[in-house]
Amino acid sequence: MDGFAQTPTPLAPSPAGNDGGTKTRLRNGEEYKKSLRDGRNVWTGGIQVDDVTQNPVLGPGISLLAETFDAQFDPSLMDTTTFVDEHGERISRSWQVPRVPEDFPARRRMIEYTTIKTAGSFGRPPDLAPLIAVGLLARKPIFAKSDDPADFAGNIERYIEHGRRNNIIAAEVLADPQADRSAGSSASAGLLRVVSREKDGVRLRGAKSVGSIAAQADEIIFSNLTRPDFPPEACVWGAIPVATEGLKLVCRESVSHPGADPFDHPLASRGEESDQLIIFDDVFVPNDRLFNVGDPELLKLYGPVTVWVHWHILTRLSVKADLFVGIGQLVLDVLGTANIPQVRAYLAELICYAQTLKAFVLAAERLATPSENGVLTPDVNMLTAGRLHSIEHYPRIIHTVQELCGQGLVMRFQKADFEHPDIGPLLDQLLPGRNMSARDKNRLMNFIWDLTTGSHAGRTELFENVNATPANFLRERLYREYPRERIMTIARDLAGV
């Protein structure tokens, strides 16, 4: 599909009783699923997937995402997941551009919804990648200075409108394939680059890695990060549909438990955010889908563009931290350990972590400043410090939740055990919790296993670290970006030097 030729979501009245017949640009879950049956080239386990919505690896996660589309029509969730724009049309809140301080808490409610919906296990939920487009829009005046015939600044505006009118899910991919990085190696063979510039666009070859949710999304927003040895042909930034000719997506091994009984795996049975290696095999990208070609200075804007994404990530981690507090208190109540000071201290540690992340989020919003064209920008230093705090403490927080559970995470049993006529009654008799049956206590422990300990949780913990950027890089970013001149002057005056 070239450019923005995709048919926009037709205007339709909102469901009766919601908001008086306001026209929408929304899709429901079935419409989202139907859009994924577009001939995309996806592989998993060495087999090419005919229909991603029916695939046992990808399908359960797609069904979970489909529920977020249906939520747009739920009267109790409509204002959380959608808003009425300046044209009087109801659109997904994923594509809301923050212009005034009140937009942050409104947009944050959407993040809270998608985080709870996935128990925080989707690091790149549907409402994240649109914030790349928001970041591009905020820096549009800089892109407008380019004299490239592709009209990067205009493309940014058009892409935002495309996302709003079509209620799309996009995946954002940045990482290069992991290969030999030693001097003189051939690792650059996988670097995404322009192999030819044509009248109507560019042709790309190479690959991007960790394409989270890409096979389950409508589109991919791709870019490279600059580095000292970067060739000009690798300075590229754009967006394309997943079904673009020449694009191949190879899924990593599944870490969830599709088809498992929800009793045994309450979270992992619901599917996962799948990650893909995205191979560009002479992929053509039309001019109106490009935000940069050949300009290393524009590519350096990736950091400023992703400030809103980092706000989303930190908000999601804050909501997930609150979830850990809720789980921890449930465990204390069920095991009857709330009267033990040392155990309460564990819960206090969870509370402190959650409150600290929340403080960073609120401070980043409170200190927000408008960009040159009026997009409200969260404070980058608060976000960087908050992200650093989150990834440094996350493994300890997971361990703390496990400590609260004690042997409960080790001694879990399956639904088949409880339903067996011989051993089931014994389990019911021997393993009850305080004011909770043995079966419900076991199911709680199964959920905590999925969230903190199993393969599904292991992937999430690794992703949080990679997604947030390694701690040393965040420390370096804080050192480079934190304003110190004013306080240094005060320190000099106080010291009398």
Q: What is the CATH number of the domain that holds 364?
A: 1.20.140.10
Quote the tokens at residue 135: 């970041």
**Secondary structure element (H or E) that encloses residue 218, with its range:** none
Place of tokens 């960087």: 384
User: Domain total for the chain?
Assistant: 2
d(CA 136, CA 87): 22
User: Which residues are 249's β-sheet partners?
Assistant: 42, 278
Instruction: Taking the CA atoms of 209, 213, 219 and 222 in sequence, report the sign of the dihedral they define.
Output: negative
d(CA 32, CA 63): 10
Do 292 and 357 reside in the same domain of the chain?
A: no
Q: Which residues have a Cβ under 8 Å from the Cβ of 247 and sit 6 or more positions away? A: 40, 41, 220, 240, 278, 279, 280, 281, 283
Do 285 and 318 reside in the same domain of the chain?
A: no
Each residue's pLDDT tens digit, 253-308: 999 998 899 999 999 999 999 999 999 999 999 999 999 999 988 988 999 999 99
Q: What is the CATH number of the domain that holds 176?
A: 2.40.110.10
Do 184 and 331 reside in the same domain of the chain?
A: no
Do 215 and 154 reside in the same domain of the chain?
A: yes
Q: Which residue has the higher pLDDT, 43 or 474?
A: 43
The yes-or-no verdict on residue 7 having pLDDT over 80 is no
Asked if residues 332 and 404 have their Cβ atoms less than 8 Å apart, the reply is yes
Do 156 and 213 reside in the same domain of the chain?
A: yes
Q: What is the DSSP letter of 94?
A: G
Report the pLDDT averaged over residues 153-177.
94
Domain that holds residue 83: 1-304
Asked if residues 117 and 64 have their Cβ atoms less than 8 Å apart, the reply is yes
d(CA 350, CA 397): 7
Of 276, 304, 332, which marks where a domain is finished? 304
Do 32 and 177 reside in the same domain of the chain?
A: yes
Q: Which residue has the higher pLDDT, 463 or 74?
A: 74
Do 158 and 256 reside in the same domain of the chain?
A: yes
Report the pLDDT averaged over residues 326-352.
97
Do 155 and 108 reside in the same domain of the chain?
A: yes
Question: How much is the pLDDT for 389?
Answer: 95
Do 345 and 485 reside in the same domain of the chain?
A: yes
Question: How much is the pLDDT for 19?
Answer: 58
Question: How much is the pLDDT for 14?
Answer: 47
Do 119 and 149 reside in the same domain of the chain?
A: yes
In percent, how much of the chain has pLDDT > 70?
Answer: 93
Report the pLDDT averaged over residues 322-340.
97
Question: How much is the pLDDT for 16?
Answer: 38
What secondary structure, in 3-state letters, does 372-404 show? Answer: CCCCEECCHHHHHHHHHHHHHHHHHHHHHHHHH
Do 315 and 300 reside in the same domain of the chain?
A: no
Q: Which residues have a Cβ under 8 Å from the Cβ of 471 and sit 6 or more positions away? A: 388, 391, 392
CA distances from 75 to 15, 95, 114, 318 (A): 9, 20, 17, 26
Of 278, 304, 330, which marks where a domain is finished? 304
Of 304, 339, 358, which marks where a domain is finished? 304
Question: What value does the mean pLDDT of the chain take?
Answer: 92
Strands 219-223, 170-173: parallel, antiparallel or unpaired by DSSP? Answer: parallel
Each residue's pLDDT tens digit, 440-489: 999 999 999 999 999 988 988 888 877 667 788 888 888 989 999 999 99
Do 359 and 292 reside in the same domain of the chain?
A: no
